[in-house]
């Protein structure tokens, strides 16, 4: 199922049951797994590995050289997992430094014209809505939702099951399980809908709501707020992840 107008390098590795549409271009060092669907005009280049059963729509560009001016050559990689949907005009760039990789996990939905820059590390079950942009070295944990026209600053982390509202500017980390919105972004409340959809227990939801009040509304310093959370709230996995995420933040957490 390869259209005659597709340009595929003889050394590229193409798995079984793939559909490669008109005018797609696949480079020399690309590995495409089984069951992928590339519609038309898709470009996959560089040292890129594409997993299984992904669907990529027209004019997406994956694995091309980083836009980072610090690029000095070498082998940089792009690694895409399984069962991702990558819509029209999405750009996913390779890493900057020799031996490094831009990584996108599995079961993600990346909508039209989104940008995933060099060295980003995305987990699984993430949704990026139209025109959302991740700068270099951004880490996005599982089940996060990044709404349309969001701009995320370099080296930020987006926590698990968090949601960023549309048109937000995100200059600092977004804590897991929280909903942030605004320009610049502010943490508004817990992301209750995501917690319910992903089967987080009622006990954990109550604890996270208390953690939100202590940390974001209590007027305490970060060390004192975290100490109070650890002292007063049950040591549930979600609470522990929240505390660990905040404690290891290098850019600060969106308040």
Is position 119 annotated as part of the catalytic site? Answer: yes
Maximum separation of any 2 CA atoms in the chain, in Å: 65
SS3 (DSSP) at 202: helix
Q: Is 233 left (phi over 0), alpha (psi -120 to 50) or beta?
A: beta
Q: Which of 68, 82, 119, 181 is catalytic?
A: 119
Is position 136 annotated as part of the catalytic site? Answer: yes
Is position 118 annotated as part of the catalytic site? Answer: yes
152 beta partners:
134, 170
CB 167 within 8 A of CB 146: no
Q: Which of 39, 93, 118, 125 is catalytic?
A: 118
* 59-96 core/surface letters (b: 16 or more CB in 10 A; e: else): bbbbbbebebeebeeeebbbbbbbbbbbbbbbbbbbbb
CB 250 within 8 A of CB 155: yes
Q: Which of 27, 46, 81, 136 is catalytic?
A: 136
Give the residue numbers annotated as catalytic, written as ranges: 118-119, 136
């Amino acid at each position: 199922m390869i259209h005659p107008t597709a340009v595929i390098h003889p050394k590229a590795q193409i798995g079984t049951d793939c559909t490669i549409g008109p005018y797609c271009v696949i480079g020399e060092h690309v590995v495409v797994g089984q069951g992928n669907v590339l519609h038309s005009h898709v470009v996959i280049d560089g040292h890129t590995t594409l997993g299984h059963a992904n669907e990529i729509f027209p004019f997406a560009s994956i694995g091309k050289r980083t836009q980072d001016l610090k690029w000095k050559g070498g082998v940089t990689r792009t690694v895409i997992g399984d069962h991702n949907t990558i819509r029209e005009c999405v750009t996913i760039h390779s890493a900057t430094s020799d031996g490094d990789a831009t990584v996108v996990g599995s079961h993600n939905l990346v909508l039209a014209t989104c940008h995933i820059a060099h060295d980003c590390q995305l987990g699984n079950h993430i949704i990026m809505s139209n025109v959302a942009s991740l700068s270099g070295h951004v880490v996005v944990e599982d089940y996060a939702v990044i709404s349309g026209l969001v701009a995320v600053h370099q080296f930020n982390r987006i926590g698990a099951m968090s949601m960023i509202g549309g048109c937000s500017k995100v200059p600092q980390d977004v804590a897991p399980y929280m909903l942030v919105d605004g320009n610049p972004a502010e943490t508004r409340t817990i992301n209750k809908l995501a917690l319910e959809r992903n089967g987080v227990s009622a006990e954990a939801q109550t604890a996270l709501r208390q953690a939100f009040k202590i940390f974001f509304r209590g007027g305490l310093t970060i060390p004192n707020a975290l100490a109070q959370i650890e002292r007063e709230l049950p040591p549930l996995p979600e609470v522990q992840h929240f505390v660990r995420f905040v404690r290891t933040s290098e850019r600060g957490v969106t308040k």
